[in-house]
Amino acid sequence: MSRKLIIGSSGQIGTELVIELRKIHGSDNIIAADIRKPIDEVLFGGPFEEINVLDKARIKEVILKYKIDEVYILAALLSATAEKKPDLAWKLNMEGLFNVLDLAKEKVINKIFWPSSIAVFGPSTPNRNTPQQTIMEPTTVYGISKLAGERWCEYYYNKFGIDVRSIRYPGLISYKSLPGGGTTDYAIEIFHHAIKHKNYVCFLEKNMGLPMMYMDDAIRATIELMNADVSKISVRCSYNISGLSFSPFEIAEQIKKVIPEFDVSYNPDFRNEIAKSWPSQINDQVARKDWRWKPNVDLEQMTEIMLKQLKVVLV
């Protein structure tokens, strides 16, 4: 049985990926790892190891201890934090990837998942229906690190035959775990504020449309990509995947259908400039063709799930 190590298991994607993979493969086969303590469900639901993604020796020690053959590297600084801490962002986002790519090169592991982002695109990229292959001139520290990472993934595949797979995640919406330091974080905050305070001051402008996705779809995409037969994988940098696309105004209107008194105002800050540089809607034809990717959850369904679930947690 193949064992998997999830580095960054206390983060937004890591939390839900560990829970889902444990359901599929059994708790003992999914090793959660982070420098931060995870939520109880992850901590007590199976093995947890403290790992700093910058510590290659420690990663190797845990891999050998559990006889792991697949690693998911989810530890990263997101777009807004990366603008404030560019040196740390570059170090964490790049060195973490290299540590794991090199362990694959040394044949300590067989397969890697590494997340990229729609942040690899920039202002010169076509804003709508953004193709898999297009102009990529990111203007953010995070986007530059993700684009460089994509090139390195493809390089390690071409040069050393490393089976590394990747997705360009859009903004991810979930109720189980909070994001931290991203530009798309508003799309989760808005739900928390709608329930708790009935008002929200949005840090993006009203009509700033961005690509988004409900977390269940993102987790399923990750698992489907990793399970896909190797012959189906034609992209070794990172796949575009598309779910939803909405602006702060559009999501607020959806929420108002359930909470009519909800009031939103707009006070754009530096994150609005980041958002402006990204596409508003992505073309994912290649992922659909290669490994039959298809999103399930639309804006209405997502709003309904988020409000229902968060009411239970927050009220």
Q: Which residues bind ligand AKB (CB under 6 A)?
A: 78-79, 117-119, 142, 169, 171, 182-184
Whose Cβ is closer to ligand AKB: residue 46's or residue 170's?
170
Q: How far is CA 90 from its chain centroid?
A: 17
Whose Cβ is closer to ligand AKB: residue 167's or residue 226's?
167
Give least dist CB 62 to ligand AKB, A.
26
Burial of 101 per CB tally in 10 Å (0-12, 13-18, 19+): buried
Give least dist CB 88 to ligand AKB, A.
15
Per DSSP bridges, beta strands 3-7 and 68-73 are parallel
Give least dist CB 240 to ligand AKB, A.
13
Whose Cβ is closer to ligand AKB: residue 78's or residue 287's?
78
Q: Between vectors from CA 2 to CA 242 and to CA 216, what angle results, nearest 5°?
A: 25
Give least dist CB 106 to ligand AKB, A.
29
Whose Cβ is closer to ligand AKB: residue 117's or residue 132's?
117
231 to each of 258, 293, 308, how far by Cα in Å?
A: 46, 15, 41
Give least dist CB 18 to ligand AKB, A.
19
Render 40-51 in DSSP notation, one character per residue.
HHHHSSS-EEE-
Of 142, 169, 186, 200, the catalytic one is: 142
Whose Cβ is closer to ligand AKB: residue 236's or residue 271's?
271
Q: How far is CA 222 from its chain centroid?
A: 10
Whose Cβ is closer to ligand AKB: residue 99's or residue 277's?
277
* Strand ranges for the chain from DSSP E: 3-7, 30-34, 48-50, 68-73, 111-117, 163-169, 171-173, 199-202, 210-214, 239-240, 244-246, 263-266
Q: How far is 12 from 75, CA to CA, in rounded Å?
A: 10
Q: How far is 155 from 158, CA to CA, in rounded Å?
A: 5
Residue nearest to ligand AKB (CB): 182
Q: How far is 190 from 41, CA to CA, in rounded Å?
A: 25
Give least dist CB 142 to ligand AKB, A.
6
Note if 175 is an active site residue: no
- Residue with the two structure tokens 């698992």: 223
Render 85-140 in DSSP notation, one character per residue.
-HHHHHHHHHHHHHHHHHHHHTTS-SEEEEEEEGGG--TTS-SSSB-SS------S
List residues with catalytic annotation: 142
